């Protein structure tokens, strides 16, 4: 099951232009950090930041917006995450740059929520073990009735239904079905075992389908 970009059919807005402008200046902002560097290492870090982080700013903002629920808050999170990424750019190895960036964004978003909106954090405990049927390797490209329901749902209603999910389910669903990360990458980003990723994804999808089915009835 894959949820296409639910904002794809939305016409460009002044808010979108403002976001593009802010993200466009991120590299200039992080280059003016207060960490002392010699000229050569600074140039190397800037070049590496441009290659590793900048291509994934769109995904970074999307994840931050889903976690915080607000555009302005997401912009603040992405800016702080970019500062963190720039400071740690020397530690990035040969793994997935996208997963590395989104991991930093997620940690930054939760730090921001703890400081500014602690009541928004939802901790899901005692997640059930994924049933063997869910763990079996089926063809994910098969169009299920649930996927068909999601596919025909208008974007605004789908976005609202996803936003209403508990945070752990919402972020897992977004990482998998909106941004297309695989289970291993999601496990890396969220810091939980792959089995937990699969469980949260299954439970999040069930809740989403229930909500969409209820609004259809």
Q: What is the domain partition of the chain in residue ranges?
A: 14-34+45-120, 132-216
Rounded distance between C-alpha atoms, residue 10 and residue 6, angstroms: 8
Give me 131's structure tokens.
């049933």
Rg of the chain taking only CA atoms, in angstroms: 18
- Provide mean pLDDT across the span 119-146: 44
Give me 127's structure tokens.
């997640």
pLDDT tens-digit series, residues 157-171: 888 888 889 889 999
Q: What is the pLDDT of residue 119?
A: 67
Q: What fold is seen in the domain 14-34+45-120?
A: Rna Polymerase Sigma Factor; Chain: A (1.10.1740)
Q: What is the pLDDT of residue 95?
A: 85
Q: Which of these CATH numbers, 1.10.10.10, 3.40.190.120, 3.40.50.300, 3.90.1300.10, describes 132-216?
A: 1.10.10.10
Q: What is the pLDDT of residue 118?
A: 73
Whether residue 58 is predicted with pLDDT greater than 70 in this model: the reply is: yes
Confidence of residue 124 (pLDDT cuts 50, 70, 90): very low
pLDDT tens-digit series, residues 78-98: 999 999 999 999 889 878 899
- Provide mean pLDDT across the span 48-69: 91
Q: What is the pLDDT of residue 160?
A: 87
Whether residue 125 is predicted with pLDDT greater than 60 in this model: the reply is: no
- Helix and strand totals (H; E) in the chain: 12, 0
CA angle 52, 74, 124 (to 5 degrees): 100
Whether residue 66 is predicted with pLDDT greater than 80 in this model: the reply is: yes
Whether residue 188 is predicted with pLDDT greater than 90 in this model: the reply is: yes
Confidence of residue 77 (pLDDT cuts 50, 70, 90): very high
């Amino acid at each position: 099951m894959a949820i296409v970009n639910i904002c794809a059919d939305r016409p460009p807005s002044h808010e979108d232009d403002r976001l593009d402008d802010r993200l466009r200046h991120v590299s200039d902002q992080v280059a003016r950090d207060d960490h002392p560097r010699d000229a050569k290492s600074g140039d190397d870090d800037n070049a590496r930041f441009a290659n590793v982080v900048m291509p994934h700013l769109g995904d970074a903002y999307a994840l931050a917006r889903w976690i915080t629920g607000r555009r302005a808050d997401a912009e603040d999170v992405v800016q702080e995450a970019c500062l963190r990424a720039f400071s740690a750019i020397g530690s990035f190895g040969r793994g997935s740059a996208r997963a590395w960036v989104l991991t930093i964004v997620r940690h930054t978003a939760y730090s921001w929520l703890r400081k500014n909106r602690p009541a928004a954090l939802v901790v899901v405990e005692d997640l059930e073990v994924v049933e063997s049927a869910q763990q079996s390797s089926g063809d994910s490209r098969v169009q299920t009735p649930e996927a068909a329901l999601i596919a025909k749902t208008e974007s605004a209603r789908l976005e609202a239904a996803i936003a209403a999910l508990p945070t752990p389910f919402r972020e897992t669903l977004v990482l998998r079905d909106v941004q297309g990360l695989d289970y291993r990458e999601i496990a890396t980003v969220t810091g939980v075992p792959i089995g937990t990723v699969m469980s949260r994804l299954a439970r999040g999808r069930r809740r989403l389908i229930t909500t969409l089915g209820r609004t259809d009835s």
